């Protein structure tokens, strides 16, 4: 499986990078920057809208981080599968070859 190991290692590395992105996104907490409560505007009609923005932003952040985590897990499983099934690696993966004259 020598020629395909590089491709499999790249798949695994991409999965680790995606997991790092998910970790960073999860730690940023942009929604936390949106003020809670009445934000100095007691009784204002905008209070409910501000709360909706904060909630929506938090859901989007969580969804995006989950998406990257799922992608990272998929890539890790693919690399594991290809390492265990050489026939699938040979059938489905192609080693990159530099076009002639580009070396």
Q: pLDDT per residue over 71-86, tens digit each?
A: 999 999 999 999 898 8
Q: To which H or E segment does residue 38 belong? A: none
- Domain locations in the chain as residue ranges: 2-92
Q: Considering the chain, what percentage of its residues have pLDDT values greater than 70?
A: 83
Place of tokens 């993966």: 93
For the chain, list residues with pLDDT below 50: none
For 59, other C-beta atoms within 10 Å of its C-beta total: 11
pLDDT at 34: 80
Q: How far apart are CA 36 and CA 92, in angstroms?
A: 51
What is the model's pTM? 0.73
What separation, in Å, do the N-terminal and C-terminal C-alpha atoms of the chain show? 24
Q: How far apart are CA 65 and CA 20, in angstroms?
A: 10
Listed in sequence order, the DSSP H helices in 2-45 are 2-28
């Amino acid at each position: 499986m020598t020629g395909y190991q590089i491709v499999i290692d790249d798949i695994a590395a991409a999965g680790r990078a995606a997991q790092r992105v998910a970790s960073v996104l999860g730690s940023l907490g942009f929604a936390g920057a949106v003020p809670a409560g009445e934000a100095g505007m007691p009784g204002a009609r905008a209070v409910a809208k501000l709360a909706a923005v904060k909630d929506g932003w938090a859901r989007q952040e969580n969804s995006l981080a989950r998406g990257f985590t799922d992608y990272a897990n998929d890539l890790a499983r693919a690399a594991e599968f290809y390492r265990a099934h050489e026939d699938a690696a040979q059938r489905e993966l192609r080693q990159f070859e530099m076009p002639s004259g580009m070396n």
